[in-house]
Amino acid sequence: MISEVHPAHHLARLSELVLELEPGEALVEGGPSCELLLPAGILRGECINLRVECINLRVECINLRVECVNLRGEVLDRGGHLVLLVGKLRALRRQVGALQLESKSIDFVLDDIDQVLVLLNRVAYVGSDRLDLGDGLLVNREATVDRGSLFASAAVGHLDFLPSSRARRNKRNSMEELRKFAARRDGVDAKVSAEADGATSAQSSTANAVNNTEASKVEDPSIQEPKPKRKHRYLPDRLYFRGTKFQRQVLGIERSVNKRIDDKIAEMTTVLDAQYLHIMRAANRKATQLRTENRGLARRVERVEKQNRILERKLDELLDDVSINSSEMLRERLRRTRARFAQQRHDDNDNDGTSGFIMD
């Protein structure tokens, strides 16, 4: 993971390297120290690790290190090393700005690039014969390095000023208008110079300059003729292509809602299944208990009926015995009564000498 460094560190480092320059040494094209070197990771996008998949996009590579390795010259040839560097910086700034992110890390990266561009503008001395680098950068074709003004600007802190987001937007808009105007002007100048070169052979140097300008345009795509936009598109592009974002959000919300509904359904199904099993087990236990009680009652009824039959037989026997005994008793009573009557009559006959008898 790349550590984050404040932009003032880069400016101080660049100021120290510039102060190491020795007067009288020239920057020769093709030499070992002929250009300002940027880390290869920044130019290839490896040093700025944008994690687009995350919601909170963080730019981990903020230390835009501009290493001026062994700047040993005071003369910038017309080969365009400074033009190439500015083109790379502008391309990098356009790539970062195209993301249209609102983050402090992105703001720091844009501020680093802007400060480096301002620093390059202060390095070169603006003379009469100037080289247009775009974005308001005008450099003398045989410019000298003003080391004192560079160090003073870095020391005082003019380059450490961090403009607000509104100021940066206004600056980007104005720079875009200037870039469009410069591109149209350069296109017209290139056509006129090409026609003049075909007419006369005395203007071969002008043709070489035009070729160098075209080569710089190839290195910096922003100098080419921009494509015309639709007239009704007066707002940023990010406001016109939000349907897919909203669709993804809606789909995400729908998926989350469906997932929560499925989870609730599964949870309620589990609870209902558990309750159903509990109720069914209780019902089965109750049914078994009722069947057991019914069998017990049936056996009890059978025993009662059996006892009833036994009692009925006993009652019949008792009634028979009673009837028999009662008849015998009546016969015995009648016999005794007759015997008594007979004895009484006999006694009366003996006492009274009468033939009548008194019945009881």
Sequence spans of domains, the chain: 7-162, 245-360
User: Confidence class of residue 104 from pLDDT cuts 50, 70 and 90?
Assistant: low
Closest C-alpha to 122, from 155, 99, 100:
155
Long-range (24+ apart) CB contacts under 8 A made by 176-179 are: 178/135, 178/136, 179/134, 179/135, 179/222, 179/223
Question: Burial level of 71, CB count in 10 A (0-12/13-18/19+)?
Answer: buried
Closest C-alpha to 1, from 42, 33, 47:
47
- Check pLDDT > 50 for residue 314: yes
Amino acid (one-letter) located at 300: R
* C-alpha span between 30 and 36 (Å, rounded): 13
- Check pLDDT > 90 for residue 301: yes
Q: What is the DSSP letter of 50?
A: B
Closest C-alpha to 72, from 113, 21, 114, 141:
21
Closest C-alpha to 85, from 108, 122, 116:
116
Of these ranges, 166-175, 218-227, 252-261, the one predicted with the greatest mean pLDDT is 252-261
Question: Burial level of 324, CB count in 10 A (0-12/13-18/19+)?
Answer: exposed
Is 207 within 8 Å of 191 (Cβ atoms)? no
Question: Burial level of 190, CB count in 10 A (0-12/13-18/19+)?
Answer: middle
What pLDDT sits at residue 274?
92
| Sign of the four-CA dihedral 63, 170, 221, 244 | positive
User: Based on C-alpha coordinates, what's the Rg of the chain?
Assistant: 61
Give per-residue pLDDT as tens, 48-58: 444 444 444 44
Question: Among 6-10, 76-80, 101-105, whose mean pLDDT is lowest?
Answer: 76-80
- Give the C-alpha distances (Å, rounded to integers) separating 154 from 68, 111, 136, 147, 314: 15, 15, 20, 11, 135
What pLDDT sits at residue 160?
41
Is residue 139 within a helix (H) or strand (E), and if so which, with residue range? strand 137-140
What pLDDT sits at residue 96?
66
Is 117 within 8 Å of 123 (Cβ atoms)? no
- Check pLDDT > 60 for residue 3: no
What pLDDT sits at residue 291?
94
* C-alpha span between 211 and 220 (Å, rounded): 14
Give per-residue pLDDT as tens, 215-231: 555 555 555 666 665 55
Mean pLDDT, the chain, as a whole number? 64
Question: Burial level of 79, CB count in 10 A (0-12/13-18/19+)?
Answer: middle
Residues near 341 by beta carbon (within 8 Å), at least 6 away in sequence: 357, 359, 360
- Check pLDDT > 80 for residue 338: yes
